[in-house]
Amino acid sequence: MAKLELVIAGHKRSSDRLATSLYPSISDTEQSFQFESNEQTISVLDHAGVEGFTKRLTDRVAGLSTAILATDDNHGLDQLCLQHAFLLTLCGINELIIVVTGLKDTHKAEEAFSTIKSKSALLGWPKVTAVAIGSRGLEPPAWFDGPELTATLRHIQLADFPIDVPLRMPIRRTESDKSLYSGHILTGLIEMGDTLLFSPSNQTARVVALNAIDENESLNSAEAGREVTITLDSDLEFGNAELASHVDNPPLETDVFRARIAGFSSEVLNVDTGYSFYRFGHVIPVSIQSVERVTDDIGLDNIFDATIRASEIIALDPFEICKPTGSLILNDGENFIGAGQINMRGYADQRDLITVRSTNVVRVEHSVTDKHRAKRNGHRGGVLWLTGLSGAGKSTIAIEVEKRLFAAGYQAYVLDGDNVRHGLNSNLGFSPEDRAENIRRVGEVGALFAGAGFITITAFISPYRSDRERARTALPDGFHEVYVKADLEACEKRDPKGLYKKARAGEIPEFTGISAPYEVPKDPELTIDTSDSSVDECAQKLIEHIEHHFVLHDK
Ligand code: ADP
């Protein structure tokens, strides 16, 4: 049976006042009290005050339904209260009781309370009750005619664990027995015999035994809110932070995502700085790739929209799909610096893009080797991956360089975006997933061309770092990223295909540089700035790079 739990957030002084009245006889460590009327036991998690609150919540993202936000007429709904309230929303709280303590019988106190009450109505929380408490015990001030605190608490209910939603359970390996996997089911339902998918490792296995964690009781099924141990029909190899789901409703897999973050201090989040993403007891190193401040109208003035990059693929959900796996808590190594809601606007689920190298397919060993080809051609095969904004000059340079290489007797070929979409990729559209798949295939084809000995020049905007890095993994040796650089203004002025004009008129949604991001290469092998050089000079620069890295000079 799940416990009825109540979180207390807000200001420590107010929560201490509540504590002495609500559960005076209970020790600090076991803050649990009982209501006589309907005999429900409520465990109180008193986390008021900044540090403790955030730390506790990093591991408590599901299963709480009601919270008290404690404040007084002095603090009102200040920044700290709003931050706590924001975190509580991340935890899926659906009922918030704002308790204002220490109110006098004066008109001034009554006015302060009514300001808090009307501000709380603007916040858009699902259910808010405001309760006024006087200076002695739980007695309300004389002017208050609202509900009493104890009466309000009597009606709180068990957290509503959603079971008709996708299964999500972060996995803990059991140290003593590696064949056992345990975890807290955050959402959904597990049944005996289910085939589970583990992400991000992308392995599946069937549940052959299901037990409640602290009891030996074996279960036929277990729903959200329960802690269970499962035995699987095969041994799986994976690291930390693995998430179990069903095969047909998995979380996303990605190394880049976006989040709306409430910052806990006045500092702006720093781009390219390392942070820790707290997730179900694990720490995932991340960095902020870009950030912009958002002004909102409820008084939280440190709201940011950030693009966040992890060093490896992680499994997550957009917040609106699943709150526990769609929440973000960030720490800078010392302090918690913000919390947010994950979204994937403009970014692709990379699950299907991770090339599974089938173990049943054995590569054919060519008797003609790379070396033979290089010797005959006078150069190695490779990929020159041209990336940059539309109109930056990728195609123009690629075509010019192909012409010159061909004239010099080299094997060279251009893979161009539009041409590939006419054939190989004609089944792909422009959704984030299709764009990423488009680039994945070009990366693979480029690697094949390179294997055939060709100097392959690709001309694709390829705005996302993850996609370009994946293309690099298709050809670890011989892949050169070339940043064709021109600022948006220059590209828009050139507008060779009239696309910017259309995008500005709103006719092309998600147009790179205007309504979708371009992620500038971090360490490209070559940068060609086309804004103040001629086509001839730019082509020459690429030719020189190719001659240096691909052409054999001791034929
Ligand atoms: P992309 O392939 O990057 O979308 P295009 O090659 O189709 O860009 O278009 C680039 C446009 O910019 C062409 O009209 C080209 O003539 C012009 N341009 C001007 N200066 C340069 C330069 N230095 N390098 C490449 N293109 C240039």
Cross-strand bridge partners of residue 5: 43
Task: Return all residues near 58 (Cβ < 8 A) that are at least 6 apart.
Answer: 278, 329, 336
Assess whether pLDDT exceeds 60 at residue 37. no
80-89, 203-212, 249-258, 469-478: range with lowest mean pLDDT: 80-89
Lowest mean pLDDT among 74-83, 210-219, 294-303, 486-495: 294-303
Mean pLDDT of 320-324: 86
Atom of ligand 1 nearest to the CA of 484: 3
Report the pLDDT value the prediction gives residue 278, as an integer from 0 to 100: 83
Q: Which of 462, 466, 533, 534 is catalytic?
A: 462
- Runs of H (alpha helix) within 358-416: 370-377, 394-407
Does the structure show a pLDDT above 70 at 93?
yes
pLDDT of residue 203: 92
pLDDT of 213 above 60: yes
What's the pLDDT at 1? 45
Q: Cα 343 from chain centroid?
A: 7
Q: How far apart are CA 312 and CA 266, in angstroms?
A: 29
Atom of ligand 1 nearest to the CA of 386: 3
Q: pTM, whole model, 2 decimals?
A: 0.78
pLDDT above 50: residue 390: yes
Closest C-alpha residue for ligand 1 atom 24: 535
| Radius of gyration from C-alpha coordinates of the chain | 29
Q: How many Å lie between the centroid of ligand 1 and the Cα of residue 439?
A: 21
CA 496 to ligand 1 centroid distance, Å = 7
CA distances from 363 to 259, 275, 366, 369 (A): 42, 41, 9, 14
Q: Is the pLDDT of residue 181 over 50?
A: yes
408, 377 contact by CB (below 8 A): no
For residue 438, the model assigns a pLDDT of: 95
State in Å: Cα 494 to ligand 1 middle.
Answer: 7
Atom of ligand 1 nearest to the CA of 459: 2
- The confidence score (pLDDT) of residue 293 equals 80
Which residue's C-alpha comes closest to atom 17 of ligand 1? 393
User: Which residue type occupies 544?
Assistant: E
Taking CA atoms, 218 is separated from 212, 281, 532, in Å, by 7, 26, 72
Pocket of ligand 1 (CB under 6 A): 388, 390-397, 459, 484, 494, 496, 530, 533-535, 538
The answer to whether the beta carbons of residues 314 and 284 sit under 8 Å apart is yes
- CA 391 / ligand 1 centre spacing (Å): 5
By most ligand atoms within 8 Å of CB, the mutation choice from 494, 514, 542 for ligand 1 is 494
The answer to whether 462 is a known catalytic residue is yes
Does 259 score more than 90 pLDDT? yes
pLDDT, residue 521, reads 96
Mean pLDDT of 502-514: 92
pLDDT at 429 over 80: yes
| Nearest Cα residue to atom 21 of ligand 1 | 535
The full DSSP string for 520-555 is: --SS-SEEEE-SSS-HHHHHHHHHHHHHHHTB-S--
Query: Are 19 and 56 spatial neighbours (Cβ–Cβ below 8 Å)?
Result: no
Mean pLDDT to the nearest integer, 345-364: 78
Cα 444 to middle of ligand 1, angstroms: 26
Which residue, chain included where needed, has tokens 């003593």?
A: 176
Give, for ligand 1, the residue of 394, 395, 396 to mutate: max count of ligand atoms closer than 8 Å to Cβ: 396
- Given CA atoms 461, 462, 465, 468 in this order, what sign does their dihedral have? negative
